[in-house]
Amino acid sequence: MIQLEKVTVRYPKANEDAIKNLSFTLNKGEFVCVLGRSGAGKSTFIRTINGLQPITAGSIQVLEKNYYDLRLEERRKLRSRIGMIFQHFHLIPRLTVRQNVLTGRFGKKKPFQNLLGLFTAEEKALVQHYIERVGLLPFADRKVEQLSGGQKQRVGIARSLMQEPDIFLGDEPVASLDPNTSRSIFRLLQSIHNEKKLVSVLNVHDVSLAKEFASRIIGLNKGEVVFDGTPSELNSKTYEMIYGSDEH
């Protein structure tokens, strides 16, 4: 579902590549965790998948489409099939949980329908369903500012679910949450993943979470893949390749 071939990204004015020559295929049903020190290129990699980050070289095929062959409108449509959640949730302030979740639908509708809030009865039912799915039904009409971090991330997840995505991305989705909350968010992500048969790609810095939930782990170091395997293949040697010996 996602194929990268020698994908390289270099930021303007940087004198090193943020990611170098990444090549691999991510298949339907894989729950991928990406590990690496900060600055290893994890965020950059995740963002190339939905085109938030343009690539400098190589090619990337997502859902049978080459992103860079598409016109702007088609890119937008493709992106609407890829859900993404963020470390700092990136919810829309002052709006309620329900309103925030509805914005997940924006990529599937015409601008004037979004502007005027013209959602179909099915869509309204879907919102209700997904708010319930993430366990926020009692908070559906609260403003998102009043929620805890874990609850905010659940709103983020529900918003992505409204996209009815084929791919789920997460850029350190639990990095601002406590360990218990993190685990419960991962459990939710995993059950949604299995239910909807997605490809999920999530950055984590907590190795134990990756070991517990991932079906595949990709380790990045200085923009290069240094590990690609199952959690059981992670050992102290591979661990050192990913994180290096010098702690910082």
Partner 1 sequence: MIWFRKRHLIYFVILILLTWISMDLTNFDLSKFIQLENMISFIQRSFIPPDWSILPFLLRESFVTLGMAFLGTVFALLIGIPLSFAAAHNTSRHYFSYQSVRFFLSGLRSVPEIVFGLIFVVVIGLGPFAAVLAILLHNIGVLGKLISELIEAADKGPQEAMKSVGATHRIGNLFSIIPQIWPNVLSHYFYRFEVAIRTSLVLGFVGGGGLGQQIFNQYQSFYYDGMAVSIIVIMVLVICVDMFGSYVRKRII
Ligand X SMILES: Nc1ncnc2c1ncn2[C@@H]1O[C@H](COP(=O)(O)OP(=O)(O)O)[C@@H](O)[C@H]1O
Site residues, partner 1 (CB under 8 A): 50, 52, 76-84, 86, 88-95, 103-108, 111, 114-115, 156, 159-160, 162-163, 169
Please give the residues from 194 up to 223 whose contact with Mg ion meets the rule CB under 5 A: none
CA dihedral 160, 165, 170, 173 (to 10 degrees): 30
Stretch that binds Mg ion, among 23-31, 37-45, 175-183, 234-242 (CB under 5 A): 37-45
Q: Does 44 bind Mg ion (CB under 5 A)?
A: no
79 contact, one of ligand X, partner 1, Mg ion, none, CB 5-8 Å limit per kind: partner 1
Rounded distance between C-alpha atoms, residue 172 and residue 89, angstroms: 10
Binding residue for ligand X, selected from 1, 3, 5, 39, defined by CB under 6 A: 39
Binding residue for Mg ion, selected from 43, 48, 50, 100, defined by CB under 5 A: 43
Is residue 147 a contact partner of residue 97, using CB atoms and an 8 Å limit?
A: yes
Beta strands in 94-172, from DSSP E residues, in sequence order: 167-171
Task: Give the HSE-up count for residue 113: Cα atoms under 13 Å, Cβ half-sphere.
Answer: 12
- Please, what is the Cα angle at 133 between 165 and 218, to 5 degrees? 50
The CA distances from residue 167 to 55, 96, 197, 200, 223, in Å, are 19, 25, 9, 6, 22
Q: Which residue has the tokens 């929620």?
A: 147
Rounded distance between C-alpha atoms, residue 209 and residue 214, angstroms: 8
The 3-state DSSP class for residue 13 equals coil
Q: How far is the CB of 17 from Mg ion (least distance, A)?
A: 16
Stretch that binds Mg ion, among 19-27, 38-46, 161-169, 229-237 (CB under 5 A): 38-46
Stretch that binds Mg ion, among 42-50, 115-123, 154-162, 187-195 (CB under 5 A): 42-50
Stretch that binds Mg ion, among 35-43, 88-96, 183-191, 213-221 (CB under 5 A): 35-43
The CA distances from residue 237 to 37, 204, 245, in Å, are 16, 19, 10
Please give the residues from 4 up to 33 whose contact with ligand X meets the rule CB under 6 A: 11, 14, 18
Binding residue for ligand X, selected from 41, 83, 156, 165, defined by CB under 6 A: 41
Binding residue for ligand X, selected from 4, 35, 36, 189, defined by CB under 6 A: 36
The residue (of 183 and 222) whose beta carbon lies closer to ligand X is: 222
Q: Does 44 bind ligand X (CB under 6 A)?
A: yes
Can you give the binding site for ligand X, defined by CB under 6 A? 11, 14, 18, 36, 38-44
